Structure 1
Amino acid sequence: MGKDVAPAMPADNEEAEPALSVSAAMGLAKDALEGVVVRLMGEVSEVSDKPGYKAVYFTVKDEKASLPCMMWMNRYQAAGVPLSVGALVELTGRFSLYAAKGRMNFDVFSVTLAGEGLLRLQVANVARELEAMGLMAAERKRSLPVYPEVIGIVTSPRGSVIHDMLRTLRRRYPLARVLVAGVPVEGPGAADGLVDGLAKVVFAGAEMVLIGRGGGSFEDLMPFNDRRLARTIAACPVPVVTGIGHETDTTIADMVADVRASTPTAAAEAVAPARAQTEGRLDALGQALHRAEARRLEGASRALERLESLPLFREPARLFDAEALAIDDLSDRLGRALPDALRERQHRVGLLAEAVARMLPATLARPASQVSLAQSRLAMRGPMLTDRPAAACARDGQRLRAVGEHLTDRFRNDVAVNAARLHDLSPLTVIGRGFSVARDASGTVVRSVGQVRAGGALTVAVADGEIDCTVEKTRRIDAAIEDWKEDL
């Protein structure tokens, strides 16, 4: 078995070094520590930032150790990094020893966020910038259409999010037409894809747009903290609803959106009214419309009754009382004034007739003498005016008769020849040579025995008249020839 061995003590004869005081030992340690400047990384476990303090006190730790830190207030404010429990920070400083208490601190020169903490700082800076621009103001945000006809969805085409949103819309509001823009929702280029998808569904006619994705780490949600995406959402001409991550996740896209839902499914429920709610509202509107129409009809009925009770409609003739009295008055005045006016007109007409009678003979005397003179002149000169035309007409008539007698000479011979030909072709000439023409009762010339029957009436035309006959029997030419041969 081993035994505990005490550390060796200096021999009595050896000269021992003088002992240091506590303050001297602490000063020696302080000088040694303050010469060590290091850069370290750790997680903030506690923070003390009280008003009036000259420094900020906090502790950083890792899996095996913790280190108290202090940072003078002027350095902390210049760094612009708000310290919070759980933040991963990168520190630069030196070790310091507070001799009065015997405590060691890490005097921090600079601090920056590391890992997710840096990302959160960047996001916070973008959020402050957009807030200063007024993009997160509540008065800028728009209300959602109650019954949209076209709803746009911008999310990943794979995974459960798109199926949950479509299933919710189909269940709650199947009347809407859904436009889906499938885009990446994490990784490089995801923010640009979200901006492009948002523009496409709006251009295709969406009345509102849903932007969603499932849960993930802070780094996975960084595309939804993109400055360009946030400004695109704010400038979108239609309302935008976001459902990103879980209820505890909040991105810049949520802050600038018109409506922020806790999950993608909640976002779909926010834009789609429930069927029962829609039916209830329609019933309420129908009842309100019924009541309003009933009140309107009742009011119109009362107004009609009031109009019906007016004396004007009970005695319509009174409507024209004033006009009837005016007509009677004018008729009476006209009856009194008309005879006087006629007598005055008759007197004036008589005076005009006397004046015309006195003036007419003298007025017509001169034109009558002029007419007589012109008539005598015309009687003397009239025969002279027609002598020359009469002589010319006589000469032309003699020439026309002389020429006309010879114009028909060459036509007379042609007419005679044609008349002879017509005479030769005339049926009368044929009949005159001993032939005859038979006609039936309708006057049709009989050319075949098939046109008549036994007992039928015929009229036979000969040279000097007609013979009425009755058909006893008919024979065709071949039978008649046979009979003639027999007779021979």
Structure 2
Amino acid sequence: MEHTLTVAELADLLGRLLDEAFPYGLWVEGEIANYTEGRNGMRWFDLVEPAPEAGRAPVARVAVVLFDDARRRVNALLRRHGGAVKMGDGVRIRIQAAVAFYAPQGRLQLRMTTIDPSYTIARLAADKEAVLRRLRAEGLTELNRRLPLPVLPGRVGLVTARDSAAAADVHRVFANAGYGVTLVECDALVQGADAPRSLVAALDAVTAADVDLVLVVRGGGARTDLAAFDHETVARAIAACPVPVVTGIGHEIDESVADLVAHTARATPTAAAEFVVSVIAEARGRLDDAVARIGPAARRTLDTATARLDGHHRRLGHRGDVLAQRHRHELDGRARRLVRVAATADVRAASHLDHLADRLARRSLSWVAGADRRLTHGSATLAARAERRLAAARRHLDAVDLRRRALDPVRLLDRGWSITRRGDGTVVRSTGQVTPGESVTTILADGTLTGTIEAVHPRRTPGADTEDEQ
């Protein structure tokens, strides 16, 4: 009868065979999946070989256990490499491990002893460069940058982890600016194997909400933590976004593929939010200047039109009076001449003179009647012409008044704008015009607000960006 092994004997045999086959352990590379933190500092995960097609099950998988003492050595090694690598799902690693058979669960597993950080860093750099080559070949690195920035963005999309420090930084910057911008926030995973898919979905959702531009931000971390922003699907989604995308990812030393395809990249979430605020501040400054110029110009135009209308009215009335007076003087003169001729005529020519006087009287009456008709017609014509001139002037005055009311600063105040003036009445157009402790008055549609400047925050230039503390 052949020798029969118990399950325990078989497990022990397999263990000894593996020890003999791999006495010094071996190096294995693969992608982390199902990373789990256990009690007593232990870690478990699977090391998988991903399928060539996205979304397919891995072609191979092996369980890995990392005991606490080995974990401490691995963490020390990672810190010596600048903390660029952090173990987690989706991270590609190269590890040294002993091959063992875990009898209680009847499975083969690797007992991890150390890691090769340079392998992971090199793989990240090579993958990033390969993605950039493909994007540049398709002309996608400049696609979003060609979009014009909105003149006055009122709705700003925000893609990040909802309760993260990066989200808090963006909200703080917009709250301090006080411009009343609507932030349309969409929660997204910003690290891990599922982060690329989550970021793309968030971008689609926020652009569907009719925003003027999108902020994509994340605080600093290990290079592996930021790997999602080097992913090709995320880069393509940003490049194809129908509105400008402003990124603020990591710290000042970090530059992701997402930064390189975005419209504008800033070093930190705070710097990205401050850039958007600076765009709004510049537009409001131009609007304040326009309001300051339009008001006096509209008043001058109205005063000029009113003066011209009064002049037309006076000239038309005066011309009618002069014409009537001229005809009256001419008729009076002819009548006086006729009386003098009749008084000095010879008696012998009385009948002849009477005849002539009768004829002259008839002609005079006829001429006077014609002159009177002409005077009446001329007066009517002048009156009609004056009325037309007055109507045209009134229409012009109404059009000027309509333009004045459309450009009236009070109507702009009714739309939600405000005007801030210093104590001497000058309009505040720049942070450089005021100093802390100075009193200012803000004019609103329904009244005024009087306050004191507590602090002045000039707009930062790109070179003045500072690192966010996460």
Q: What range describes the TM-score normalised by the shorter chain of this pair?
A: 0.3 to 0.5
**Structure of higher CA gyration radius:** 1
> How does the TM-score come out when normalised to structure 2?
0.40
Higher relative contact order (CA closer than 8 Å, sequence separation 6+): 2
> How does the TM-score come out when normalised to structure 1?
0.39
